[in-house]
A and B are shown apart, each in its own frame.
Chain A
């Protein structure tokens, strides 16, 4: 029994139908618990006041914005190498979720920045990188919409995703070089080894991050199912037209 069996659309739909109820439930619970805990039960930061509560949305959304692109990159590679249609469709299904997460990260960041940094927007490296990521998502989605033939569209968007990833990383370093930032360092402890956020804030934040991750998974599974059905409907119609 190998993982590749789920590249078969029927098997994929079966598994996805079985897993989804649990995923949706777990995602809802985690997001609700994380956000409610964060919103109602954490103290205000003595410098940031109540705006610290925005972190429970901002950090998970930013995390998923990047991970969504990474997932699209992996799915694109699988499509280019092994030609599994499910993989290409999963990448297509993930893009709108990723762009929404990027938008949430940008908007919550701007709302938080207004009272804290005194400006809605600063050309800070992290903010700018996210804006560039947003543009990459836009281009990727627009290319999917523009190409008629579904397989060609999958091919072209996959290459765009690969090339875009390289340039996104390049832009990240270029932007860092271009302007030193206001933004605080990462607040995720795995990345730094030590914690920069105290425990009071960290537990609800962690739950919320897990919740956003599960929500992303559930949404992508659901949307991939939609894309598979649409593709199948299209293929059936095309076949019938040929037979007539």
Chain B
């Protein structure tokens, strides 16, 4: 861990928030993508039903 001096809270806060936002974006994208895949598969599966 590098010595961040008196600005530790700012630097860590910036990294934390940004990574949180990026992670949130990725998780939401993946979840929506998986749901879309499942729904399409379901609809295509009972094509003849």
What is the interface of chain A, defined by CB distance below 8 A to chain B?
35, 39-40, 44, 49-51, 53-54, 57-58, 61, 96-97, 100, 103-104, 107-108, 111-112, 114-115, 215, 219, 222-223, 225-227, 229-230, 232-233, 236-237
When C-beta atoms are compared, the residue in chain B nearest to A235 turns out to be B43
Instruction: Add 18 more A-B contacts to A39-B15, A103-B21, A111-B17 (CB < 8 A).
Output: A49-B7, A50-B5, A51-B7, A53-B11, A53-B15, A57-B15, A100-B24, A104-B22, A108-B17, A112-B14, A114-B10, A226-B37, A229-B37, A230-B36, A230-B40, A233-B39, A233-B40, A233-B43
> How many Å lie between the Cα of A237 and that of B10 in the bound state?
51
Q: Is the CB of A104 within 8 A of B5?
A: no
A136 to chain B, nearest CB (A): 19
A67 to chain B, nearest CB (A): 16
Pairs A–B under 8 Å by Cβ, sample size 29: A39-B2, A44-B5, A50-B4, A51-B7, A53-B11, A54-B11, A57-B14, A96-B25, A96-B28, A97-B25, A100-B21, A100-B24, A104-B18, A107-B14, A107-B17, A107-B18, A108-B17, A108-B18, A115-B7, A115-B10, A222-B30, A222-B33, A227-B36, A229-B39, A229-B40, A230-B39, A230-B40, A233-B39, A236-B40
Which residues from chain A contact B5 at a C-beta distance below 8 Å? 44, 49-50
Q: Is the CB of A226 within 8 A of B36?
A: yes
- The one of B6, B17, B18, B43 that contacts A237, using a Cβ cutoff of 8 Å: B43
What is the interface of chain B, defined by CB distance below 8 A to chain A?
2-8, 10-11, 13-15, 17-18, 21-22, 24-26, 28-30, 32-33, 36-37, 39-40, 43-44, 47
Which of B18, B21, B40, B47 counts the most A-chain CB atoms under 10 A from its CB? Answer: B18
When C-beta atoms are compared, the residue in chain A nearest to B42 turns out to be A233
> How many Å lie between the Cα of A58 and that of B15 in the bound state?
10
Which residues from chain A contact B44 at a C-beta distance below 8 Å? 236
B14 to chain A, nearest CB (A): 4
Q: Is the CB of B14 within 8 A of A54?
A: yes
